[in-house]
Structure 1
Amino acid sequence: ISGAVEFTESEQAKAQFNVNFFGTVNVSRAVLPSMRRQHRGRIVNISSVAAVAHIPFQAFYSASKAAVSSYSCALDNEVSPYGVRVTVVELGDIHTGFTQARQKTALGDDEYGGRISRSVSQMEKDELNGMSPEVIGTYIARIAQKKNCAPICVAGVKYKILRFLCKILPCTLRGKIVGSIYAK
């Protein structure tokens, strides 16, 4: 979903978390007993660099992906003594049906000076020019097959740099940079 937080219906926000976060939790719960008994396995969860580069007018998406990243790291600590490892892959822009499937709401665009529409338009442009799903699929498959893998992997050099900068820059500066791209 996209839109201003104050104009987003709570039910829409809950649905975003149900899919992105609780969907991930439910899949993990389904496979963990078997993996723990076998004393091996790798769970690969999908998150986004939006987990650390908090995108305006996609606050609930960013928050749900931050939850997936945090959950995955915590779960890895819980299950690693049983030979089960968890890796979260934080993705950037990918050219998929995601853009067309976005539930857009421009409610409040006048109050926000047109920033909602401009922000979503920039996101869609970035997504349509994003990496191919085949490249990302190959990347995720390689991670799933690795014996040893970092708990957090980021696909794409520019997104690795972005994630690194988001981790080291003060929150105010990070917000200004992301805001200059998506909240003009």
Structure 2
Amino acid sequence: MCVDVTDEASVQEAVGQILLERGSIEILVNCAGFGISGAVEFTESEQAKAQFNVNFFGTVNVSRAVLPSMRRQHRGHIVNISSVAAVAHIPFQAFYSASKAAVSSYSCALDNEVSPYGVRVTAVELGDIHTGFIQARQKTVLGDDEYGGRISHSVSQMEKDELSGMSPEVIGTYIARIAQKKNCAPICVAGVKYKILRFLCKILPCTLRGKIVGSIYAK
């Protein structure tokens, strides 16, 4: 079944069909998403809105569709795929980072709303994964001359990191294990390296954190 997560009617129809055939939905994993890269100044508004429509509002649409049945059956687990970019705030991936920060914040708030009904919500923040995400990313180097070549350099560094990232099989197993947990933290981070990164991003002063991330992705 193919569903456009940005189309609320399509999502509602698909969820209704699954409930009709299966009777219940125990686990939902919201993993639809894509990335855009480029300078904020040169990113078209429609492209930025499309980023949020898929990464954030797509998650909202599907979650909203399954929540009534989960709440009535008094059980269910919604797992939303986020990113450590939610706290690392990657330059030249500002809209991607912002969309994932929205997913993480939304997940924590929603978990508080629905946990009294036996429904849990978890945002899984991922780091670099070796998948087809590189090919799917919408890249623009508009303004690269004005930014001293930093846009193209940043994207090149991102892609190098992703190519050496964790395998999708390992991440898939991790997400499956999280999804089957009855009691789970609202935020989970895959991989020791990224757990440390998230911890440092939370405790370091904003200026120092910015300098560290900038030295990698904005120099």
State if a TM-score over 0.5 links the two structures: yes
Report which structure shows greater RCO (CA 8 Å, sep ≥6). Answer: 1
Which of these residues, 135, 149, 152, is aligned with residue 187 of structure 2?
152
Instruction: Tell me how far apart the structure 2 counterparts of residues 72 and 147 of structure 1 sit (CA, whole Å).
Output: 16
1:131-169 alpha-carbon deviations (Å, 9 max, x no partner): 011000000000011121111000000000000000000
Instruction: Tell me how far apart the structure 2 counterparts of residues 183 and 137 of structure 1 sit (CA, whole Å).
Output: 31
Aligned residues: 184
Instruction: Tell me how far apart the structure 2 counterparts of residues 103 and 45 of structure 1 sit (CA, whole Å).
Output: 22
Gapped regions of structure 1 (runs ≥ 5):
none
Instruction: Tell me how far apart the structure 1 counterparts of residues 207 and 135 of structure 2 sit (CA, whole Å).
Output: 32
Instruction: Tell me how far apart the structure 1 counterparts of residues 141 and 80 of structure 2 sit (CA, whole Å).
Output: 31
Matching residue of 2:40: 5
Give the structure-2-normalised TM-score. Answer: 0.84
* Percent of pairs with identical residues: 97
Gapped regions of structure 2 (runs ≥ 5):
1-35
Runs of 4+ in 1 over 2 A off after TM superposition: none
Give the structure-1-normalised TM-score. Answer: 0.99
Instruction: Tell me how far apart the structure 2 counterparts of residues 101 and 45 of structure 1 sit (CA, whole Å).
Output: 20
Q: Residue 150 of structure 1 aligns to a residue in which SS?
A: coil
1:55-105 alpha-carbon deviations (Å, 9 max, x no partner): 000000000000000000000000001000000000000011100111110
1:114-139 alpha-carbon deviations (Å, 9 max, x no partner): 00000000000001110011000000
What's the C-alpha RMSD, in Å, of the aligned pairs? Answer: 0.4
Instruction: Tell me how far apart the structure 2 counterparts of residues 38 and 101 of structure 1 sit (CA, whole Å).
Output: 38
Instruction: Tell me how far apart the structure 1 counterparts of residues 113 and 73 of structure 2 sit (CA, whole Å).
Output: 16
